[in-house]
Each structure stands twice: as C-alpha cells, then as structure tokens.
Structure 1
Amino acid sequence: MDAYDGGSNARHGPDGPEGPAGPTAPTAPGVPAESGAPAAWGTPAASGAPTPSVGLAEESHPAAEPHLATELDPAAEPDPATSPRAGIAALSLRYQIGVALALAVVAVGACAHLGMTFLHVAPPNTVTREHGKAVDDWIYPEFEQNWKLFAPNPLQQNISIQVRAEVRDGEGGTLTTGWYDLSAEDGRAIDGNLLPSHTQQNELRRAWDFFLATHDGENRPVGLRGSLSESYLRRIVVLRLDRDDAVRAATGGRGVIERVQVRSRTSNVPPPKWSREKVSTTPAYRELPWWPVPADEAGGGVR
C-alpha cells in the first residue's frame, strides 16, 4: 500500500501530507490546535473520538450568546417591589383606608335600601309586623312602590300639575304669578331624551298620587301621612318655581315667595277613531287651598 494513500493508517513521514510540506488543516475557532494531532473539522480523530464541530463548540460556551445569559440570569428580571403601582394600591395608606371606608358605607347603604324595599313589597311577615313603621318611614314618600303597571284597567287620563305663587316684592307689595304647568315642563324634558331622569318621569306624578292617597275629596288630610304629603308636594313646587325664576319674572327683581297654590288639570284620553266609545274631552280642575311657604323654603325650597 502506498504510504501516501488516504486510507492508510501508516504514520506519514515528514514529507507526507501532515509534514511541513503538506497542507495545513484548518483549526476550529476557539479550539487550540495540538501539535502532531489531526485538526480537521467534523472528522474522527486518529484515536477514534469525534472532534467537536463548530456549532457544538459555540453552544457549549454561553459567552458566545450574551442574550442567552441575560435571559437565564434571575437578576435581570424586573423586581415587583420597584414596579409602579396603579389604582388604589398607588394611594398612601391613609387614603387607602378612606377609600375602603367609603366603599363599605356605600355597600351597607345599598344593602339596607334593598332590604327595606323587599320588606315593603313582600307579603306581611314577622319582620314587617314588628318593624313596619320603620320600613314605611324609609320608603315613603320618595321610594314608594306600586303595581299599577299590571293593573287590569290602566289610567286613561292625562293629569297635569300646575302651580302659582304669591310673591312679596322688595317694596312690600304682593303679586300673584300665572299658572306654571310643571307636568308640561317635564314632558318637554322627556320628549326626545333617550335617558330621561327619574325626577322628570316620576317625582311630580308620585307626589300628586301620594297627596290623593292621603286626602279626602275636600282636600283634608286623612291619617298622619297627610301632612307629610302636603309638605313633600309643597317643597317640590317651590323648587320648580325657583328653577323657572318665577319670582324675578313677577317682580322684575328680587322677591320672596309667601304662598303657593297647586291644582290639577285632568282630561280623558280620546278613544281611537275606530272605537264607538264616547268620552268628554272637557278638562276638570281640582284646586288646592293656598299653602304658606316657611322661611327656610322661600328661597328655593329645602335641598
């Protein structure tokens, strides 16, 4: 066999391929070449052990990939203690306690109101028999509940609440304003409004229903709630007069409301054209007596 044959296992002489005159094998980066040992890439060494390739050499040295060391280093992760806080956690301890107390008060109030409303509409039971007066004091007059929506004969009348006032001007004289149609004002505010307020829809109407339920046909109060319904209706109409600037319109300047008078205008809803029913369309009025306005309400009502 030729000594220079590539398949020969004989040691090459000084003039062979590995000798000084032979070609020099490349050295893998980062791997020092040993004298007298084969250094070919990816080829078995003379002893039969595989020589690491370039890729394996690079993977075995984390320094060759700095980003890998950064990802594996726990010190490089953000510290939760130094991260910016948001929401209530960003407030100081004193304000956190204040917010917690405010939320607790709101939650307790909401639960109390829902509980009172449930007891009011629930059938008579032990709690209502024992604490019925407390429930009524909480519900009436602002939160009264009724079932008229499901009545077999719904209301077929238009009822308007109107008010006028007796005003004392700055010179000591007394003037009487014209009638203000408060129901018409609420109707104009609701018309075209996708989200009308509860006061525009129900406040005045429920106040009038409360008055009718606690007074007889002669406008005399029946029971203890009669005076409460009068003061409730009076406060509402005085607030509306102040909102409409009725005093300034009557006196041309400053003045004080001394008395108010409320009346209702009731008219039947006309039947449809195909109906043979005949009803009167003439409005009927119910005027209440003049009510004196207390001094604490004269400037625009108790707020």
Structure 2
Amino acid sequence: MAESAISPPGLTAPPDLAPAPASGASAAPGTPPDPLAPRGIPLTGLRRRLARTAVVLVALLAAVHSAMLLMYVASDFPLSKTYTKQTDWWMRPMFPQDWSIFAPDPSRYNLHLEVRTRVDGKLGPWLDLTAYDNSRYRGDLLPSIEDQLVLRRAVSQYQTSARNRSRSEEADSARSRNARYLLNVVRVRLADMGRPTGDAVELRTRATRIPPPGGGATSEPARYRTLGFWKVTR
C-alpha cells in the first residue's frame, strides 16, 4: 500500500507545488489571475495578415533606408555617383549626414568668410562672419550641429558650383541657387549682428594655415580669395 507524504505540523505546501486545478474547473473566487496566462484580443486570420504585412513593410523600409544611407555617406563609390539624385532626394532635408565612411584628409587651413557692406556709396570694414558664428556657439552645452554648418555649407556649395564651368541649364541653375542661398545666409548674419546690408556686399574668404601638432604659430600669411560684389535687393 502506497504511503502518503506527511507535512510537518504548522507547514503548508509552497504555492508553486500546490496541485493544479482539474481541467475545466474554474478558479476559486478571490484567486489572483495567473500572470503567465495569455491576455488581449486573439489574432484572427485578418489580424495576422495585417500584422505580417506591417512587419514586412517596416523591414523593407529599413532596408531601403540603410541602402540609401550607405550610398549617401560613401559618395566615392561608383554606385553612389550613379544614384546621386535619388539618394539626395531620400536623405534631404530630413536625414542629412555630415560624416563619411572614409575619413577625409584633415584640413590644413581654417577658412573664414568675411563681408563688408556698401552703405551710401561707402564701404565699411571687413566683418568675420565665421568668427561671429563661432562666438555664438562657444560655451553652449548643446549646440545645434545644423546651425553651425549653415555658413560653411553655403560657402562650400557656392564654391563647388562656381568651379563648374559647364554652361548647361542645370549647372547655371545650381550656380544661381547656391549664390542666392549664400547671399541670404550673409544677410541673416548681418541682421543678427545689427549691421545694415546697404545696397551691396563684398565677400571674400580668408584661409590661415593650421600649425602642426606640437608646433608653434605658423608664419605663412593668410590667403584671401574674393567672391566679388553682390547686389542686395530690398
């Protein structure tokens, strides 16, 4: 005859060793629900298809975005050059990237944009817009990367389009667009500085040599490149 297990007096069986209720039997009133029991609305056939479709679409969107991001930052790849318009349309202006897979050659010069205005036929002093931008963000704990790159990108885009000697309609449109953008950025900076724009502005870039690590100040003079006079329309 089998002997039944006898618990010591005053002790009860642990909750996890308590016998499970028989199949089909309802839980006793006041019993807390099982935390491992499935909850929520059961997925029907239609809901399953919708959930699977959503997962596939999200995965496809992530794959396309990853491919576009790779071609955008790897601009030297032949495939990236072939689909430049498509990647620019996808990445800008919502997902701009200011980095590249391959580290560029470190710059040897600090490039500053300088401007002077013509008011009542007289030219004013040269104003360093780059130094003004740097002073605005110096000491800021959370500076905006986009705001810091506005002036630099405007100058870079204008110089790139100006070096393009093509006379095609597309090249002329790019030069005109980049020139207007640079002039608008200059006008905004002058307004921030409380300076009048006058009827024309003269722009130039000043490049100073960056001394090597551990070296002293360089004796190489600054290099200036004029960008000409720009008429300012009201």
TM-score range, shorter chain: 0.5 to 0.7
Cα distance in structure 2, aligned partners of 1:225 and 1:137: 16
Q: Does 1:269 align with 2:223?
A: no
Task: Name the counterpart of 1:37.
Answer: none
SS for the counterpart of 1:270 is coil
Task: Name the counterpart of 2:228.
Answer: 289
Residue among 224, 242, 252 paired with 2:191 = 242
Q: Which has the higher contact order (CA 8 A, sep 6+)?
A: 2
Cα distance in structure 2, aligned partners of 1:164 and 1:242: 13
Deviations 1:130-167 (A, max 9, x none): xx647646767997645468435211211111111122
Is the 2:72–2:87 Cα contact (8 Å) retained in structure 1?
no
Deviations 1:88-110 (A, max 9, x none): xxxxxxxxxxxxxxxxxxxxxxx
SS for the counterpart of 2:220 is coil
Deviations 1:241-276 (A, max 9, x none): 1111112xxxxxxxx62111211100111123469x
Residue among 179, 182, 186 paired with 2:129 = 182
Task: Name the counterpart of 2:72.
Answer: 121
Residue among 201, 212, 215 paired with 2:148 = 201
TM-score of the pair, normalised by structure 1: 0.44
SS for the counterpart of 1:207 is helix
In structure 1, stretches of 5+ residues that fail to align are: 1-110, 168-172, 248-255, 296-303
Is the 1:189–1:196 Cα contact (8 Å) retained in structure 2?
no
Deviations 1:108-134 (A, max 9, x none): xxx9xx959748617748xx85xx647
C-alpha RMSD of the superposition: 3.9
Is the 1:141–1:207 Cα contact (8 Å) retained in structure 2?
no
Percent identity for Structure 1 against Structure 2:
31
Larger Rg: 1
Task: Name the counterpart of 2:17.
Answer: none
Kindly tell me the number of residue pairs found equivalent between the two proteins.
Answer: 164
In structure 2, stretches of 5+ residues that fail to align are: 1-60
Q: Does 1:228 align with 2:177?
A: yes
